[in-house]
Copies of this chain bind each other. A is one copy, B any other.
Amino acid sequence: MRAYAKLREKPDMPWSLDEISQFLDQQGIRPSFQRLKIFEYLVNERTHPTADEIYEVLRKDIPSISRTTVYNTLRLFLDKKIIQMVNIEKNEARYDATLSWHGHFKCLKCGQVYDIEIEELKLGGLAGYQVLEKHLDLKGLCPSCCQGK
């Protein structure tokens, strides 16, 4: 996984459309308007949205956009390995433009998905296995939802 965000001058600033366009080009993805906007949403919001959430948000800007385009584009981004899929919840694929190794926490009350920092992970008995993907998914109550529980 490439932590491409770190190559940027100001990693925490929102990506401009120009920057996204260049980036997609570099990755061999033709930067159509729909693709730009979908990547923009993922990389600048970082809320781990579902395909349908992306569709509903982008519909305001691009009334003609179709669900299929969103799904197609997300699959393209996955194939090109510039985003990852988050399967913390059954029957609800989410998408994440952060590729560096981190975990996810889903609040069972408010439904929000948070990034979790993994300081150390030691696994046993993996000799002979070739690990290509790692996912750490937590569920529970987030700080705001714990309040006065």
Residues on A facing B (Cβ under 8 Å): 85, 87-91, 93, 103, 105, 108, 114, 116-143, 146, 149
Contact B132 A108 (CB under 8 A): yes
Distance of A94 from chain B, by nearest CB (Å): 11
Chain B nearest CB: distance from A43 CB in Å?
A: 21
Q: Which chain B residues border A140 with CB–CB below 8 Å?
A: 129-133
Cα distance A120–B132 in the bound complex, in angstroms: 20
Contact of A129 among B91, B105, B122, B123 (CB under 8 A): B105
- Do A123 and B119 touch across chains, with their CB atoms under 8 A apart? yes
Q: How far is the CA of A117 from the CA of B18 in the complex (A)?
A: 46
Question: Which residues of B are found within 8 Å of A135, using beta-carbon distances?
Answer: 88, 135-138
Q: How many copies are assembled?
A: 2
Task: Give the residue of B103, B128, B134, B138 whose beta carbon is less than 8 angstroms from that of A138.
Answer: B134
In the complex, residue of chain B having the shortest beta-carbon distance to the beta carbon of A108: B132
A138 CB, nearest partner CB in chain B, Å:
5
Closest to A117 in B: B124
Given A131-B138, A133-B139, A137-B137, residue A120 in contact with residue B121 (CB < 8 A): yes
Find the residue from A87, A108, A129, A141 having the highest chain B CB count within 10 A: A129
Q: Are B129 and A141 in contact (CB under 8 A)?
A: yes
20 contacts between A and B (CB under 8 A): A87-B90, A90-B93, A117-B123, A119-B124, A121-B136, A128-B142, A129-B138, A129-B142, A129-B143, A129-B146, A130-B140, A130-B141, A130-B146, A130-B149, A132-B139, A132-B140, A133-B139, A134-B137, A135-B138, A137-B137
